[in-house]
Amino acid sequence: MKILAIEKETPGVADEQFTGSLLKSEAARAWLVYQEGVIREMYFRDDREEAVLVLECRNVDEASKVLCTLPLVEEGLISFDLIPLKAYPGFSRLFASSKYTEL
């Protein structure tokens, strides 16, 4: 299952708490999870400094457990909103019609 994970900064956390060594550890852990095939895509939002991840997990609980291994989550500086995704079924409306079955 694909899971969309949208970062949320913890209210009241100062920018100074995001230290260079902590951010380096975060990047290293994200790289390992990416290499394991769990994180499939990683982005930063263009409008603010928050990560958006696409994970491949059995369910939302598994995704949550994986994200809890990230140092910024462990330190309580960020969390994630998790959104389970499923395939878009709308094309079946288009192709179910006999008009389009000849394509």
> Which CATH number belongs to the domain containing residue 65 in this structure?
3.30.70.1060
The contacts of residue 93 (CB under 8 Å, 6+ apart) are none
Question: 39, 52 in Cβ contact below 8 A?
Answer: no
What global pTM score does this model have?
Answer: 0.85
- Taking alpha carbons only, the member of 79, 38, 74, 80 closest to residue 58 is 38
Sequence length of the chain is 103
- Model confidence over 17-46: pLDDT tens digits? 999 999 999 999 999 999 999 999 999 999
**Inside any domain, residue 102:** no
- Model confidence over 48-100: pLDDT tens digits? 989 999 999 999 999 999 999 999 999 999 999 999 999 998 888 777 765 55
**Inside any domain, residue 51:** yes
Domain of residue 16 covers 2-95
The residue type found at 59 is N
